[in-house]
């Protein structure tokens, strides 16, 4: 059977979820099979692939590591994305690249590397998906669902979407071009998000310890507000309920 999707960064949370859901239609390659910084391997892989869509999930996502290793981060998250864009056009493929809420008003190396990746893509041909997502691995969800205490910031705001909904939207919008923002509708603090998670999963709210986030000198600067207006209307309550329906606890 012809595979429609070539997934790069195959060990990432997002790639694994996408591949599990659309098993029959995906070929997924991890870093050992396709290191996106190796342009020769990248070209060979793309040239040989039958897939029309290339989903790039490969990235340095550890914000602290990125801050300490900016050269490596820009090489993986920005330069390799330019190569991917060029090669996808050369072989008549459609690139779907994952960017981040942190790219909108960048405050750290990771955010800047993602912003540059967006600028290096030919958006008249390819698609950038900007997002922030939660899964069973997200610390607030992982702790609360297993009955453990979690800290949650009252002064840090975001609007993440569930991984389930995100992959559904990536699939649905695969033929779009340009930049597509996929988030839930409203800005919410991490503390209020934790409360909504507790309510959805019927967990004791006392497990949530409110705290205030402070950027520390010498560490990556995190934005206090990474809200991005979504192009798709997704209410958080509805998203959490549907996330719960498909929920499988995280096992490391
Ligand atoms: N998680 C979120 O909320 C979020 C928010 C916004 C945007 N995104 C974006 O969505 C995408 C997927 O995120 P995720 O959280 O699922 O990622 P993840 O779990 O952190 O995984 C990233 C993967 O990229 C791989 N990788 C690193 N360098 C590579 C290279 N040179 N060649 C090939 N693979 C390489 C890593 O492999 P190794 O571990 O072996 O190095 C890792 O498996 C990323 O682009 C991320 O920036 C995620």
| pTM, to two decimals | 0.97
Tell me which of 8, 14, 46 to substitute to probe ligand 1's pocket, judged by most ligand atoms within 8 Å of the beta carbon: 14
pLDDT of residue 3: 87
- Report the nearest-CA residue for atom 10 of ligand 1: 98
Q: Give the pLDDT of the chain (252 residues) as one tens digit per residue.
A: 678 999 999 999 999 999 999 999 999 999 999 999 999 999 999 999 999 999 999 999 999 999 999 999 999 999 999 999 999 999 999 999 999 999 999 999 999 999 999 999 999 999 999 999 999 999 999 999 999 999 999 999 999 999 999 999 999 999 999 999 999 999 999 999 999 999 999 999 999 999 999 999 989 999 999 999 999 999 999 999 999 999 998 877
What gap in Å lies between CA 180 and CA 131, rounded to an integer? 9
The bridge status of strand 157-158 relative to strand 188-189 is antiparallel
The bridge status of strand 161-162 relative to strand 133-134 is parallel
Q: Check pocket membership of 155 for ligand 1, CB cut-off 6 A.
A: no
CA of 1 to the centre of ligand 1 (A): 27
Closest CA to 161 of 223, 234, 86: 234
Close Cβ partners of 20 (under 8 Å, ≥ 6 residues apart):
none
Eight-state DSSP code of residue 34: -
CA of 9 to the centre of ligand 1 (A): 6
- Considering the domain 1-131 in this protein, what is its CATH number? 3.40.50.720
Q: Check pocket membership of 141 for ligand 1, CB cut-off 6 A.
A: no
Closest CA to 205 of 214, 213, 194: 194
Q: At what angle do helices 163-172 and 13-21 cross, to 10 degrees?
A: 60
3-state secondary structure of 142: helix
- Report the nearest-CA residue for atom 27 of ligand 1: 59
Parse the chain into domains and list their residue ranges. 1-131
What atom in ligand 1 is closest to the CA of residue 16? 16
Q: In the Cβ-directed half-sphere of 47, how many Cα atoms lie within 13 Å?
A: 6
């Amino acid at each position: 059977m012809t595979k429609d999707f070539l997934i790069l960064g195959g060990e990432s949370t997002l790639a694994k979820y996408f591949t599990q859901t659309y098993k029959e239609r995906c070929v997924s390659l991890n870093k050992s099979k396709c290191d996106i910084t190796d342009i020769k391997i990248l070209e060979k892989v793309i040239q040989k692939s039958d897939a029309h869509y290339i989903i790039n999930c490969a990235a340095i996502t550890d914000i602290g590591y990125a801050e300490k290793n900016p050269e490596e981060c820009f090489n993986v998250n920005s330069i390799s994305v330019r190569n991917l864009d060029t090669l996808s056009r050369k072989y008549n493929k459609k690139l779907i690249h994952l960017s981040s809420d942190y790219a909108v008003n960048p405050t750290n190396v990771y955010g800047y590397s993602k912003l540059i990746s967006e600028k290096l893509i030919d958006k008249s041909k390819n698609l950038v998906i900007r997002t922030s997502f939660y899964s069973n691995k997200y610390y607030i969800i992982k702790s609360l669902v297993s009955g453990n205490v979690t800290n949650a910031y009252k002064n840090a705001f975001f609007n993440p979407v569930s991984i389930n909904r995100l992959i559904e939207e990536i699939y649905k919008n695969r033929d779009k071009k340009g930049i597509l923002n996929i988030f839930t509708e409203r800005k919410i603090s991490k503390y209020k998000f934790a409360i909504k998670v507790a309510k959805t999963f019927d967990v004791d709210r006392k497990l949530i310890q409110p705290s205030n986030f402070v950027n520390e000198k010498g560490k990556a600067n995190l934005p206090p507000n990474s809200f991005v207006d979504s192009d798709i209307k997704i209410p958080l309550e509805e998203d959490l309920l549907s996330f719960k329906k498909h929920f499988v606890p995280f096992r490391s």
